[in-house]
Amino acid sequence: MERIPILKMGSFLLVTIQVDLYDRLALNLESDLINMVSKTGARGVLIDISAVSIVDSFMGRILGNIASMSRIMDAETVVVGMQPAVAITLVELGLTLQGVYTALDVEKGMELLQKKIDLYAPQSEDEEEQSPDDYTD
Amino acid sequence: MDNNNTAQLLQRKKREILESWMNNQLADEALRDDLISNEELRRQSEELLEALLKAISNGNFENVYSSEYEQITDILSDVSVTRARQGFSPRETNMYVLSLKQALTDTLEQERRNQPEVLYREILMVNKLLDNLALTTFETYLKGREEVILRQTDEINEISTPVIRVWDGILALPIIGTLDSSRTQIVMENLLQEIVNTGSSIAILDISGVPAVDSLVAQHLIKTVSATRLMGAECIISGVRAEIAQTIVHLGIDLSNIKTKASLASALQLAFGMLNIEVRKAGNSRSLK
């Protein structure tokens, strides 16, 4: 069965989605990724979706799920490289991916993860505040 | 066949009909000789009359959707669309067809003076046909006008949403005029595309030019901000005037998760802070990054 490779880079996990996700594949990715987080004790997950041109609500939910699950296991999730059309679709679907950090490209995403993890111990409040509440309906 | 007789009669009288039609048109006070020359008008009229006589030559006075009328519909659409663009009024455009009716009935009246029953039937028939054609003209006229309006709307939309790169990594987007769904869509697309193109991480949405913010507009703003955030950039809303702040609070719209600033200057300052950029007066040291 087709699987999406998960790369380990230091204390981060890197996933690059090169194909359009169908439901089965997304579910596999979710479980693989969480297993990987627990096995390696990764502190951050970086998902690159720059090649994804089609999303649906299911895919949006999977991304949200991955973020929440990783948070429970003490890892932050950053989604990078979202296409404009994808962003508009997700917003129109009402999925604003609360709790998921976003960045423009892999480089900036890595920077963000690094910063999050550095900040985690001393002053976590101000960073945390952006995510938990929802402000749209 | 009676209908064929009528058609032949009209065909014979073509010259007279054209003359009387032209006279009708020229006599009308609403004639726009500033927009169309007499020769041009005569050419158009002759073409249309020719096509009409050809269409009815088989005795079909009823069904304007049949293939015989295709040519005439084409000519009429062409004429009315051009007139719509040239700025003719609906009345002036329709008079073009309706004055032909007058010419036709006049001719029939002269020829059938002694057969009132035939005349009555023929006039009814011609009336119906010409009314149908007039409706077609009006319909295409409206379509032409709508096209003009749509083109203008597109133009306005295009020029009214510029995305400005104010600094390395900072984009500004001044919104002028009311935000409706279609404009929000364009604003959003332009902004997101520009974020990708320039790799900017901060976008400032300036709403000083938005006359009023209601819950729908606020919803659109929130959508734009969320989409920007999904792309991995931050969005600041600036240019919030006192009245707008009041309306937002009175409507119970929650913008607490969105960074808002009163002026573009303060938004820019905030953006500088977020990117660790410092801008100073040149007195102490040059402005540096």
Contact residues, B window 160-219, toward A, CB-based 8 Å cutoff: 185, 188-189, 192-193, 195-196, 199, 201, 219
Please state the domain extents for chain A. 6-127
CA A105 to CA B232: how far, in whole Å? 8
**Nearest residue to B76 (alpha-carbon basis) of B129, B150, B20:** B129
Percentage of chain A with pLDDT > 90?
15
What would you measure as the largest C-alpha separation in chain B, in angstroms?
107
Any idea which fold B164-274 has?
Answer: Transcription Regulator spoIIAA (3.30.750)
pLDDT band at A13 (very low <50, low <70, confident <90, very high): very high
* Range B58-62 average pLDDT: 75
Name the CA dihedral angle for B93, B99, B101, B102, rounded to a multiple of 10 degrees.
160
The helix/strand/coil state of A9 is: strand
Determine contact, residues B224/B187, Cβ cutoff 8 Å: yes
Task: With beta carbons less than 8 A apart as the criterion, state whether A59 and A92 touch.
Answer: no
- Highest mean predicted confidence (pLDDT) among A37-51, B9-23, B82-96: A37-51
Summarised one tens digit per residue, pLDDT across range B221-235 is 888 899 999 988 999
- Pure H helices in chain A: 23-40, 57-72, 84-92, 106-120, 125-128
Report how far residue B109's alpha carbon sits from residue B20's, in angstroms, rounded to the nearest whole number: 13
When computed from its CA atoms, the radius of gyration of chain B, rounded to whole angstroms, is 32
Q: What pLDDT band is residue B1 in, cutting at 50, 70 and 90?
A: very low
- The answer to whether residue A104 neighbours chain B at the CB level (below 8 Å) is yes
Does ipTM exceed 0.85? Answer: no
**Comparing B157 with A3, which gets the higher pLDDT?**
A3
Residue A78 is predicted with a pLDDT of: 92
What is the per-residue pLDDT for B107? 85
CA B265 to each of CA B25, B166, B206, B261: distance values in angstroms, whole numbers, following the listed order? 63, 11, 10, 9
Residue B178 has pLDDT above 60, yes or no: yes
Tell me yes or no: is domain A6-127 CATH 3.30.750.24: yes
* Separation of alpha carbons A103 and A112, rounded Å: 8
**Is B284's pLDDT higher than 70?**
no
CA–CA distance, B262 with B222 (Å, rounded to integer): 17
| HSE (side-chain half, CA atoms, 13 Å) at B217 | 17
Q: Mean pLDDT across the stretch B79-90?
A: 82
Pairing of strands A12-16, A6-9: antiparallel
Which of B224, B253, B257 is best to mutate for the A interface (most A CBs within 10 A)?
A: B257
Instruction: State both tokens at B65.
Output: 């959707």
B133/B76 Cα distance (integer angstroms): 8
Q: Which residues partner with B225 through β-bridges? A: none
Judged by a CB distance cut-off of 8 A, whether residue A105 touches chain B is: yes
The pLDDT of residue B273 is 92
The helix or strand, by DSSP H or E, that contains position B38, with its residue range, turns out to be helix B38-56
Cα–Cα dist B126/B88, whole Å: 26
Computed over every residue of chain B, the mean pLDDT equals: 84
Contacting residues of B for A136, CB less than 8 Å apart:
219, 222-223, 226
Residue B158 confidence (pLDDT) above 80: no
The answer to whether residues B271 and B204 touch, using CB atoms and an 8 Å cutoff, is yes
pLDDT band at A122 (very low <50, low <70, confident <90, very high): low
Compute the average pLDDT of residues B4-20. 82
Size of interface A-B (CB pairs under 8 A): 68
Among B208, B202, B266, B277, which Cα is nearest to B235's? Answer: B202
CB-CB neighbors (< 8 A) of A81 in chain B: 232
Q: Given an 8 Å threshold on Cβ–Cβ distance, is B195 in contact with A88?
A: no
State whether B195 and A108 contact (CB < 8 Å): no
CATH of domain B2-157: 1.10.490.130
Task: Locate the domains of chain B by residue range.
Answer: 2-157, 164-274
- Residues A69-88, mean pLDDT to the nearest whole number: 90
Chain B contact present for A103, CB below 8 A: yes
Interface check A13 vs B, CB under 8 A: no
The total number of residues shown for chain A amounts to: 137
Q: Rounded mean pLDDT of B162-171?
A: 90
Is residue B273 less than 8 Å (CB to CB) from chain A? Answer: no
Cβ contacts of B219 on chain A, cutoff 8 Å: 136
B116 pLDDT tier (thresholds 50, 70, 90):
confident
